[in-house]
Amino acid sequence: MKIDQKTASPALRTRAREDLSSLLRSRVDAPPPCAANCPEAFGPRCSRSCPEVPRKLSSDPEGHPLDPLIAPLVYELQRLKVFQPCWSCEGHNGPDGALWKVPRVWFYSDSMTHVRALAGAIRQMELDRRLHAYWQVVLVSLDQKDPDCCFSLEPSGLAPTVRLEDLQADVTVIAASLHDLVVQIADDLARRIG
């Protein structure tokens, strides 16, 4: 069976170029994601490692700050200026010490091109053998009345030998490399579509 590849319409190519341009603008020095909530924004401690990030990026800083180990990844997703994280978890072991909840970040995106660049960056980290597990971007079904698409960046198909500590180490690696890799992939895609 032969299936012809889809040919992108001029309108779709134009939209992809616009989406990639918005992603490429994130490499310009822009305010950090928590600048609106932090008087020390742009100061020497201003980074994904700032101990205030879990509270500054939470919509309920006192009652529900971000888990400290996932906060740097949430920061980096927001730093790209095209993703809106809405929920996260650093992962947890159960009472028996076995992996119970995996680390993940849920986020909104208005562009499949942006999601493609993100997935491409994660894939590149896997190809470079920097991660302990396979990570993926998946569609998350929330409220059926809400037309927005929510996605999750999470590990998948875990081997029995993968521990929570391995997945949390992956979160650190992803956070450290995410911005530059996503921008690089967006730049490559922009050149290819012209």
Model confidence at 3, pLDDT cuts 50, 70, 90, reads confident
Overall pTM > 0.75: yes
Q: Name the nearest CA neighbour of 84 among 108, 67, 66, 104.
A: 108
115, pLDDT greater than 70: yes
Distance (Å, rounded) from C-alpha 109 to C-alpha 83?
Answer: 5
* Residue 29: partners with Cβ closer than 8 Å, 6 or more residues away: none
For 92, phi and psi rounded to 5 degrees? -150, 150
Is residue 151 domain-resident? yes
112, pLDDT greater than 70: yes
In this prediction, residue 5 carries a pLDDT of 77
Is residue 4 domain-resident? no
- Domains in the chain, number: 1
Distance (Å, rounded) from C-alpha 114 to C-alpha 109?
Answer: 7
Is residue 179 domain-resident? yes
For 164, phi and psi rounded to 5 degrees? -55, -40
Q: In which domain, by residue range, is 154 found? A: 10-193
pLDDT tens column, 82-106: 999 999 999 999 999 999 999 999 9
Is residue 5 domain-resident? no
